Amino acid sequence: MAPLQNYHVLADEFFTNRPTADIAQDLLGKLLIYDSPAGQVGGYIVETEAYLGTEDPGAHAYQGKHGRANDPLYREAGSIYIYAIRGFYAFDVVTQASAEPQGVLIRGLEPAIGENIMRQNRTRPGFELSNGPGKLMQALNIHDTKMNYQHFADSSIKIIQDYAKIPRQVAQSQRIGVRTAAEWTDHYRYFVSGNPYVSKTRKRDIDFATYGWKTN
C-alpha cells in the first residue's frame, strides 16, 4: 500500500462509552500509521490486550496507582501512552473518560505501508518483524516516550477508520506475561486467528491463504 494522505482518524467516541474489552476487539483490522522521519510506515492491528484500570491487577493503574510514569493513562480517550518494559517500548491506546485509566495494548501489526523502511528499522526475517509489542515499536522506529499525552488527531501516529480489514475469527486467550488471578488473565487478549504477525503463533496455525481476514 502506498503512503496515505487522505484518511479519517478514529473518532473519540470509538474509545469510550463501551467496555474496553470490546474496544480491544474492534481495533483488530484497523490500520495504524506513523509518519516517521524516514517516511510513512504502518500496518493492520492483529493482536491487542485490554487493561481495565484500577480494578485490574495487571493494569498500570491498579488500586489507583498514579504517578509521572503512568500519568498519560489518566488523559482523554484516544490519547497515546508509551512506556518502557524489559528494555523495549510498548504502545497503549487510552480508553474511557480521564477518571477511568483504562487502555488497550497494541501487541501485533501486519505491515502494510513502508514495509521496506520497517525492515531497515528492525532487521529480523519474515513475521518476526512486528509480531510482538516491542518488536512493532522497533519496526516503527519509536524508541522513546515523546509522543505521550498526544491525541491521535494531533499526533504523527494514528489509528484510522479507512481501509480496515475484517477478521474471519477473533480469538481470545489469557494475556501474555501477566500473572494475576484467572478472572483477569483468561479473557483479555484478542487476536486475528490464523494471522502470522500474532505473537507466539505456531506455523501450523497460520492461514497462509488469507492471513485470517475475510475476503468478501
* Residues 130-164 pLDDT 10s: 999 999 999 999 999 999 999 998 999 999 999 99
**55: which DSSP letter?**
G
pLDDT digits (tens, 9 = 90+) for 2-36: 999 999 999 999 999 999 999 999 999 999 999 99
Q: Which residues, in sequence order, are CB contacts of 197 under 8 Å at separation 6+? A: 43, 46, 47, 108, 109, 110, 111, 127, 129, 130, 131, 211
The answer to whether residue 177 scores a pLDDT higher than 90 is no
pLDDT-derived band at 181, boundaries 50, 70, 90 = low
Please give the pLDDT value at position 115. 97
Q: Which residues, in sequence order, are CB contacts of 203 under 8 Å at separation 6+? A: none
Please give the pLDDT value at position 183. 67
Euclidean distance between CA atoms 114 and 110, whole angstroms? 11
Please give the pLDDT value at position 84. 94
Q: What is the mean pLDDT of the chain?
A: 94
The arithmetic mean of pLDDT across residues 182-196, rounded, is 85
Residue ranges of domains in the chain: 12-50+102-143+150-205
Euclidean distance between CA atoms 199 and 129, whole angstroms? 11
Q: How far is CA 157 from CA 62, 111, 151, 160, 186, in A?
A: 27, 15, 9, 10, 30
Euclidean distance between CA atoms 100 and 208, whole angstroms? 40
The answer to whether residue 188 scores a pLDDT higher than 90 is yes
CATH number of 12-50+102-143+150-205: 3.10.300.10
Q: Which amino acid is at 26?
A: D
Please give the pLDDT value at position 209. 97
Name the nearest CA neighbour of 23 among 99, 77, 89. Answer: 77
Compute the Cα dihedral for 59, 85, 178, 165 and give only its sign: positive
The answer to whether residue 124 scores a pLDDT higher than 70 is yes
The answer to whether residue 98 scores a pLDDT higher than 90 is no
The answer to whether residue 39 scores a pLDDT higher than 70 is yes
The arithmetic mean of pLDDT across residues 64-74, rounded, is 94
